[in-house]
């Protein structure tokens, strides 16, 4: 069975690995979009030229005044520009939307996993959460109380996994209330309303056909989500004293201790 420390390491390591995916996606987009814009402009120019002069297209497209004369150069330029700008805008909106959805999912995993760390570190803290749970009389005869409590906590965690991000975060704050003036991260203050707004943006993207909407302040929101994940880790750290060990976190073997007075090799 994993220990609280094991899950703590795994959660932070998974966060770092997954967040790198978001960073890589956005960096590649920033570098690639200017080149994509030039390439798409050429493709759109060829398409508009075909529409303007191919006799077959005259059967479908006409000028605004209803005439079937070839599209003017100005009209062609407007169409080319609109197509290219639209493609780039849509691509950026898609990357921003995907980034926000990924980020919310990563934070959701962190919140749930840190709740699991709390359960492993101190099952006693979960007694108020499971006190009202009904217990089969047969289980009382066949199992000890520690086993029954462990099963009830696991059931609570399984139920919690399907709940909203805010429900998980609220529970973590209940288990690990921050001390007064708790500020482990520079230039960051936890803001539940902002987290709720970001979660609402994620919901609209997935469930309300908001995938193509332009998101404002997405860079700031991503930074806030990233720092919130680390803040939640800080809550667990200050409550239970669990710390990160870099070697364990990345699954590396321990470095053997060097002798205090290793003999010098003579040349």
* DSSP for 179-200, written as a single string: PTT---STT----HHHHHHHHH
Residue 172: its pLDDT value, please?
97
pTM listed for this prediction: 0.82
- 3-state SS, 8-42, equals HHHHHHHHHHHHHHHHHHHHHHHHHHHHHHHHHHH
Which segments in the chain show pLDDT lower than 70?
55-71, 132-145, 211, 246-267
Residue 92: its pLDDT value, please?
93
- Going by C-beta distance under 8 Å and a sequence separation of 6 or more, which residues neighbour residue 202? 100, 101, 104
- CA-CA distance, 172 to 165, in Å (whole number)? 11
Residue 68: its pLDDT value, please?
59
- Going by C-beta distance under 8 Å and a sequence separation of 6 or more, which residues neighbour residue 49? 76
Residue 260: its pLDDT value, please?
45
Instruction: Using alpha carbons, select from 161, 191, 23 the residue that is nearest to residue 98.
Output: 23
- CA-CA distance, 49 to 5, in Å (whole number)? 64
Residue 259: its pLDDT value, please?
44
- CA-CA distance, 251 to 205, in Å (whole number)? 36
How many other C-beta atoms are found inside a 10 Å radius of the C-beta of residue 222? 20
| Residues 238 and 215 sit within 8 Å (Cβ to Cβ) | no
Residue 178: its pLDDT value, please?
94
């Amino acid at each position: 069975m994993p220990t609280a420390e094991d899950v703590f390491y795994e959660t932070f390591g998974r966060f770092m690995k997954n967040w790198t995916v978001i960073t890589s996606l956005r960096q590649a987009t920033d570098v690639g979009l200017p080149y994509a814009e030039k390439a798409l402009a050429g493709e759109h120019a060829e398409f508009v030229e075909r529409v303007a002069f191919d006799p077959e297209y005259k059967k479908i497209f006409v000028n605004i005044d209803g005439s079937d004369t070839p599209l003017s150069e100005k009209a062609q330029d407007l169409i080319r520009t609109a197509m290219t700008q639209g493609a780039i805008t849509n691509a950026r909106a898609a990357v921003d939307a995907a980034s926000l959805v990924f980020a919310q999912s990563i934070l959701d995993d962190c919140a749930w996993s840190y709740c699991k760390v709390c359960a492993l570190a101190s099952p006693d803290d979960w007694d108020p959460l499971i006190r009202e749970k009904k217990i089969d009389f047969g289980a009382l005869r066949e199992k000890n109380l520690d086993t029954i409590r462990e099963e009830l906590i696991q059931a609570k965690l399984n139920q919690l996994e399907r709940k909203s991000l805010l429900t998980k975060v609220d529970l973590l704050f209940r288990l690990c209330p921050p001390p007064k003036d708790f500020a482990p991260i520079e230039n960051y203050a936890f803001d539940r309303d902002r987290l709720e707004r970001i979660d609402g943006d994620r919901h609209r993207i997935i469930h309300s056909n908001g995938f193509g909407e332009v998101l404002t302040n997405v860079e700031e929101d991503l930074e806030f989500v990233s720092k919130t994940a680390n803040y939640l880790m800080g809550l667990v750290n200050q409550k239970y004293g669990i710390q990160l060990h870099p070697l364990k976190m990345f699954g590396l073997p321990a470095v053997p201790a060097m002798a205090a007075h290793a003999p010098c090799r003579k040349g």
